[in-house]
Amino acid sequence: MATRICPSILNADHSRLFQEIDQVLSADLLHLDVMDNRFVPNQTFSLNECREIIGYSRIPVDTHLMIADPDEKAVLYAEAGSSSVTFHFEASSNPTNTIAQLHNSGVRVGLAVKPKTTFEAIEKFLPDIDMLLIMTVEPGFGGQAFMVDQLQKVVQAREAISKLVNKAPWLQVDGGISLDTIAAAAHAGADTFVAGSAIYKSTDPKDMIKKLRELALP
Protein backbone atom coordinates (compact mmCIF):
# COMPACT_ATOMS: atom_id res chain seq x y z
CA MET A 1 0.00 0.00 0.00
CA ALA A 2 1.41 3.36 -1.01
CA THR A 3 1.64 6.21 1.47
CA ARG A 4 0.73 9.72 0.36
CA ILE A 5 1.41 12.95 2.21
CA CYS A 6 -0.72 15.96 1.29
CA PRO A 7 0.32 19.32 2.78
CA SER A 8 -2.63 21.67 3.25
CA ILE A 9 -1.86 25.26 2.31
CA LEU A 10 -4.71 26.49 4.52
CA ASN A 11 -2.20 27.27 7.26
CA ALA A 12 0.57 28.43 4.97
CA ASP A 13 1.50 32.11 4.78
CA HIS A 14 -0.96 33.36 2.16
CA SER A 15 1.07 36.50 1.52
CA ARG A 16 3.80 34.31 0.02
CA LEU A 17 1.76 31.38 -1.15
CA PHE A 18 3.83 30.41 -4.16
CA GLN A 19 7.03 30.20 -2.10
CA GLU A 20 5.08 28.15 0.43
CA ILE A 21 4.03 25.75 -2.32
CA ASP A 22 7.65 25.42 -3.40
CA GLN A 23 8.54 24.23 0.11
CA VAL A 24 6.52 21.03 -0.20
CA LEU A 25 7.48 19.62 -3.59
CA SER A 26 8.63 16.38 -1.95
CA ALA A 27 5.01 15.67 -1.02
CA ASP A 28 2.63 13.63 -3.15
CA LEU A 29 -0.30 16.03 -3.49
CA LEU A 30 -0.96 19.64 -2.60
CA HIS A 31 -4.18 19.77 -0.55
CA LEU A 32 -6.33 22.77 -1.43
CA ASP A 33 -9.10 23.56 1.07
CA VAL A 34 -12.00 25.46 -0.46
CA MET A 35 -14.48 26.96 2.02
CA ASP A 36 -17.47 29.15 1.19
CA ASN A 37 -18.66 30.43 4.59
CA ARG A 38 -21.85 28.41 4.09
CA PHE A 39 -21.00 24.75 4.51
CA VAL A 40 -18.38 25.76 7.09
CA PRO A 41 -17.99 29.05 9.01
CA ASN A 42 -14.86 30.10 7.14
CA GLN A 43 -13.93 31.26 3.67
CA THR A 44 -10.78 30.54 1.71
CA PHE A 45 -9.78 30.52 -1.94
CA SER A 46 -11.96 31.77 -4.79
CA LEU A 47 -12.24 29.71 -7.96
CA ASN A 48 -9.82 32.09 -9.67
CA GLU A 49 -7.31 31.76 -6.86
CA CYS A 50 -7.66 27.98 -7.15
CA ARG A 51 -6.90 28.23 -10.87
CA GLU A 52 -3.72 30.18 -10.10
CA ILE A 53 -2.60 27.76 -7.41
CA ILE A 54 -3.29 24.73 -9.60
CA GLY A 55 -1.52 26.39 -12.52
CA TYR A 56 1.52 27.11 -10.38
CA SER A 57 1.87 23.84 -8.44
CA ARG A 58 4.29 21.31 -9.85
CA ILE A 59 2.73 18.53 -7.79
CA PRO A 60 -0.88 17.40 -8.40
CA VAL A 61 -3.54 19.34 -6.54
CA ASP A 62 -6.03 17.55 -4.28
CA THR A 63 -9.00 19.91 -3.99
CA HIS A 64 -11.17 19.52 -0.88
CA LEU A 65 -14.48 21.30 -1.32
CA MET A 66 -16.11 22.38 1.93
CA ILE A 67 -18.85 24.21 0.08
CA ALA A 68 -22.62 24.14 -0.20
CA ASP A 69 -24.08 23.02 -3.54
CA PRO A 70 -21.15 20.85 -4.68
CA ASP A 71 -23.52 19.17 -7.14
CA GLU A 72 -23.50 22.38 -9.20
CA LYS A 73 -19.95 23.55 -8.56
CA ALA A 74 -17.61 20.57 -8.18
CA VAL A 75 -17.05 20.22 -11.91
CA LEU A 76 -15.64 23.75 -12.09
CA TYR A 77 -12.76 22.65 -9.87
CA ALA A 78 -12.15 19.64 -12.10
CA GLU A 79 -12.06 21.92 -15.13
CA ALA A 80 -9.66 24.20 -13.24
CA GLY A 81 -7.10 21.39 -13.41
CA SER A 82 -7.36 19.62 -10.06
CA SER A 83 -5.96 16.12 -9.94
CA SER A 84 -8.69 15.07 -7.53
CA VAL A 85 -11.87 16.78 -6.38
CA THR A 86 -13.40 15.77 -3.06
CA PHE A 87 -16.87 16.95 -2.06
CA HIS A 88 -18.81 16.46 1.16
CA PHE A 89 -21.55 13.86 1.36
CA GLU A 90 -23.45 16.11 3.81
CA ALA A 91 -23.60 18.96 1.29
CA SER A 92 -24.72 16.91 -1.69
CA SER A 93 -28.26 16.06 -2.68
CA ASN A 94 -27.16 13.68 -5.42
CA PRO A 95 -23.74 12.13 -4.76
CA THR A 96 -24.14 9.49 -7.48
CA ASN A 97 -24.66 12.13 -10.13
CA THR A 98 -21.83 14.35 -8.90
CA ILE A 99 -19.44 11.40 -8.80
CA ALA A 100 -20.34 10.58 -12.42
CA GLN A 101 -19.98 14.20 -13.55
CA LEU A 102 -16.55 14.45 -11.96
CA HIS A 103 -15.41 11.21 -13.54
CA ASN A 104 -16.56 12.54 -16.91
CA SER A 105 -14.36 15.58 -16.29
CA GLY A 106 -11.36 13.29 -15.93
CA VAL A 107 -10.45 13.79 -12.28
CA ARG A 108 -10.08 11.36 -9.42
CA VAL A 109 -13.21 11.61 -7.28
CA GLY A 110 -13.21 11.88 -3.52
CA LEU A 111 -16.13 11.73 -1.12
CA ALA A 112 -15.69 13.31 2.33
CA VAL A 113 -17.52 12.71 5.60
CA LYS A 114 -17.70 14.89 8.69
CA PRO A 115 -17.07 13.31 12.10
CA LYS A 116 -20.75 12.78 12.90
CA THR A 117 -21.52 11.00 9.62
CA THR A 118 -21.36 7.24 9.91
CA PHE A 119 -19.46 4.96 7.57
CA GLU A 120 -22.71 3.10 6.84
CA ALA A 121 -24.17 6.30 5.35
CA ILE A 122 -21.62 6.33 2.53
CA GLU A 123 -20.59 2.70 2.22
CA LYS A 124 -22.60 2.13 -0.96
CA PHE A 125 -20.59 4.79 -2.83
CA LEU A 126 -17.23 3.09 -2.19
CA PRO A 127 -17.05 1.13 -5.46
CA ASP A 128 -17.65 4.34 -7.44
CA ILE A 129 -15.08 6.67 -5.86
CA ASP A 130 -11.30 6.97 -6.00
CA MET A 131 -10.84 8.25 -2.46
CA LEU A 132 -12.79 8.35 0.79
CA LEU A 133 -11.90 11.27 3.07
CA ILE A 134 -12.63 10.72 6.74
CA MET A 135 -12.42 14.04 8.58
CA THR A 136 -10.59 13.74 11.87
CA VAL A 137 -11.68 17.25 12.97
CA GLU A 138 -14.84 19.26 12.29
CA PRO A 139 -14.10 20.88 8.92
CA GLY A 140 -13.48 24.61 8.83
CA PHE A 141 -10.15 25.38 10.43
CA GLY A 142 -6.59 24.15 10.62
CA GLY A 143 -4.77 23.54 13.88
CA GLN A 144 -7.50 21.60 15.69
CA ALA A 145 -6.98 18.52 17.83
CA PHE A 146 -7.15 15.10 16.16
CA MET A 147 -10.38 13.23 16.99
CA VAL A 148 -9.24 9.78 18.07
CA ASP A 149 -12.82 8.50 17.99
CA GLN A 150 -12.78 8.72 14.18
CA LEU A 151 -10.23 5.91 13.95
CA GLN A 152 -12.94 3.31 14.30
CA LYS A 153 -14.49 4.67 11.09
CA VAL A 154 -11.10 4.37 9.37
CA VAL A 155 -10.89 0.73 10.47
CA GLN A 156 -14.39 0.05 9.12
CA ALA A 157 -13.59 1.74 5.82
CA ARG A 158 -10.32 -0.17 5.39
CA GLU A 159 -12.09 -3.46 6.01
CA ALA A 160 -14.76 -2.64 3.41
CA ILE A 161 -12.15 -1.44 0.88
CA SER A 162 -10.17 -4.64 1.29
CA LYS A 163 -13.26 -6.59 0.22
CA LEU A 164 -13.80 -4.64 -3.00
CA VAL A 165 -12.95 -6.46 -6.19
CA ASN A 166 -10.89 -4.62 -8.85
CA LYS A 167 -11.04 -1.34 -6.96
CA ALA A 168 -9.06 0.15 -4.09
CA PRO A 169 -10.05 3.71 -3.30
CA TRP A 170 -7.50 5.66 -1.33
CA LEU A 171 -8.39 6.26 2.31
CA GLN A 172 -7.56 9.80 3.39
CA VAL A 173 -7.61 11.40 6.83
CA ASP A 174 -7.64 15.16 7.33
CA GLY A 175 -7.37 17.15 10.55
CA GLY A 176 -4.86 17.12 13.38
CA ILE A 177 -2.39 14.85 11.60
CA SER A 178 1.06 15.26 13.15
CA LEU A 179 4.07 13.29 14.35
CA ASP A 180 1.92 12.32 17.35
CA THR A 181 -1.11 11.04 15.45
CA ILE A 182 -0.10 9.83 12.00
CA ALA A 183 1.02 6.36 13.07
CA ALA A 184 -2.34 5.64 14.71
CA ALA A 185 -4.19 6.75 11.59
CA ALA A 186 -1.93 4.58 9.41
CA HIS A 187 -2.37 1.64 11.73
CA ALA A 188 -6.16 2.02 11.46
CA GLY A 189 -5.84 1.78 7.68
CA ALA A 190 -5.40 5.27 6.25
CA ASP A 191 -2.95 5.59 3.35
CA THR A 192 -3.35 9.25 2.39
CA PHE A 193 -2.64 11.94 4.98
CA VAL A 194 -3.43 15.64 4.95
CA ALA A 195 -1.25 17.73 7.24
CA GLY A 196 -1.57 21.49 7.51
CA SER A 197 -0.10 23.01 10.62
CA ALA A 198 2.25 20.08 11.27
CA ILE A 199 4.04 20.90 8.02
CA TYR A 200 3.62 24.66 7.71
CA LYS A 201 4.31 25.53 11.34
CA SER A 202 7.48 23.46 11.31
CA THR A 203 10.82 25.11 10.69
CA ASP A 204 11.70 22.57 7.99
CA PRO A 205 8.63 21.49 5.97
CA LYS A 206 10.66 19.13 3.77
CA ASP A 207 12.09 17.28 6.75
CA MET A 208 8.63 17.16 8.37
CA ILE A 209 7.18 15.53 5.24
CA LYS A 210 9.94 12.92 5.40
CA LYS A 211 9.32 12.22 9.10
CA LEU A 212 5.56 11.97 8.63
CA ARG A 213 6.06 9.60 5.72
CA GLU A 214 8.34 7.35 7.76
CA LEU A 215 5.85 7.17 10.62
CA ALA A 216 2.99 6.38 8.24
CA LEU A 217 4.68 3.47 6.53
CA PRO A 218 2.47 0.41 6.76
Binding site for ligand DX5 (CB under 6 A): 8, 10-11, 31, 33, 64, 137, 139-144, 174-177, 194-198
Task: Judge contact between 89 and 95, C-beta under 8 A.
Answer: yes
Residue number, 194 or 209, with CB nearest to ligand DX5: 194
Residue number, 130 or 174, with CB nearest to ligand DX5: 174
Please state whether 92 falls in left (phi above 0), alpha (psi between -120 and 50) or beta.
beta
Partner whose footprint covers residue 108, from ligand DX5, Zn ion, none (CB < 5 to 8 Å by kind): none
Specify whether 149 is catalytic.
no
* Residue 170 β-bridge partners: 131
Of positions 20, 28, 33, 191, contacts Zn ion by CB under 5 A: 33
User: How far apart (Å, rounded) are the C-alpha atoms in residues 67 and 86?
Assistant: 11
Task: Judge contact between 126 and 161, C-beta under 8 A.
Answer: yes
Residue number, 125 or 141, with CB nearest to ligand DX5: 141
Task: Judge contact between 86 and 67, C-beta under 8 A.
Answer: no
Q: Count Cα neighbours of 137 within 13 Å in the Cβ-side half-sphere.
A: 19
Of positions 7, 34, 64, 142, contacts Zn ion by CB under 5 A: 64
Shortest Å, Cβ 54 to ligand DX5? 16
Catalytic residue among 28, 130, 174, 191: 174
Specify whether 33 is catalytic.
yes
Shortest Å, Cβ 187 to ligand DX5? 18
User: How far apart (Å, rounded) are the C-alpha atoms in residues 35 and 211?
Assistant: 29
Residue number, 189 or 196, with CB nearest to ligand DX5: 196
Tell the burial category of 134 from Cβ atoms under 10 Å away from its Cβ (0-12, 13-18, 19+).
Answer: buried
Shortest Å, Cβ 7 to ligand DX5? 9
> What is residue 51's three-state secondary structure?
helix
Catalytic residue among 28, 33, 62, 191: 33
Site for Zn ion in 123-182 (CB under 5 A): 174
Partner whose footprint covers residue 142, from ligand DX5, Zn ion, none (CB < 5 to 8 Å by kind): ligand DX5
CA 33 to chain CA centroid, Å, is: 8
List residues with catalytic annotation: 33, 174
